[in-house]
Amino acid sequence: MRYIITLLATATPALAEVPSVVTDIPPVHALVAQVMGDLGQPELLLARGADEHDFQLKPSQAGAVADADLVVWIGPDLTPWLDSALDSRAEGAAALALLDAEETARRAYGAAKADDHGHGDEPGDAEEHDGHDHGSEDPHAWLDPGNAQVWLGLIAAELGRLDPGNAAAYSANAAKAGDGIAALDANLAALLAPVMGKRLVTFHDAYGYFADHYGLTLAGSIALGDASSPGAARLSELRGELEAGDIICLFPEVQHDPALAEQLAEGTSVRIGGALDPVGSSLEPGPGAYAALLTGIAQAIAGCAGG
């Protein structure tokens, strides 16, 4: 079941307290925390170091979802374990699925750059590899800071609807956070400028939004699926690509053993970069986690391929 913003059948009355908010992953939690500011603290469901694709809610977390005034999440394509919990909530309870918002720029797995309307090209003959239907929607949309800018406004608007008395504060907090993301974006663009045109390989196909936004060239990934292990044929194919000599860097990920990346690159000119963390699972949760996530990815890429 898809959720964008679920509204009550009648106008929502002002709450006696600041809304209780539950979020799915660290970057969403960070954006909501910035919009709420000193008014309240959102709850983060994904435990530190956990896998966003394969996670089980504790009973206390399921209760928090059921009781929350608002749930802000990416959507079922990323965290299907939250989808069923939302189904159990009262009809009309408020939920904001950021990937489903009309204003969100979206792309397909394996697609070229998203079009001007924020939607990736429609797939032709979809080809499925290691858990990804190439042409299906890529849910890692938080890695485009333009989406984060859009989402701040959506979060502020929904909090203001639930809590009209603090609507101005939510709006001001969102504007301040947006200015911070704009400054961060400019800094990261300058940091990554020397890397443009250099061919990079990541552990899995999660960085299309980031690469599109900063003009990076992704030559492929070890695992094409989020939750799958690469097969022998895939590894052999990738080894041949690395031996060809035009790939600069190979990046492992924080949730996966780097030994496979190191083994693939052994004996080639490919450098092993720092482990990337696309969802921020290794970071301290809080308002600063979004900036820390993008900065960590950019610094790892620039540190390996920028020389």
pLDDT per residue rounded down to tens, the chain (307 residues): 444 544 433 344 445 589 999 999 999 999 999 999 999 999 999 988 777 877 889 999 999 999 999 999 999 999 988 988 998 888 778 999 999 999 999 999 875 444 333 433 333 333 343 444 444 899 999 999 999 999 999 999 999 999 999 999 999 999 999 999 999 999 999 999 999 999 999 998 999 999 999 999 999 898 866 556 777 888 888 899 899 889 999 999 998 888 889 999 999 999 999 999 999 999 999 999 999 999 999 999 999 998 6
CA dist., res. 65 & res. 121, Å (int): 34
Q: Which pLDDT score is estimated for 131?
A: 44
Domains within the chain, CATH numbers bracketed: 21-187 (3.40.50.1980), 194-305 (3.40.50.1980)
pLDDT on residue 91: 79
Q: What tokens does 218 get?
A: 């992704």
| Phi, psi angles (nearest 5°) of residue 251 | -115, 120
**Beta strand residue intervals within the chain, DSSP E:** 21-23, 43-44, 70-73, 94-97, 127-129, 132-134, 199-204, 217-223, 247-251, 271-272
Q: pLDDT value at position 16? A: 52
279: which 2 tokens? Answer: 């969802």
- Among 224, 229, 218, CA closest to 205: 224
Say how far apart CA 223 and CA 210 lie, in whole Å.
18
pLDDT number for residue 52: 83
Q: What angle do CA 303, 251, 246 make, to 5 degrees?
A: 85
Residue partners of 125: CB distance under 8 A and separation at least 6 = none
Give the pLDDT score at 49: 77
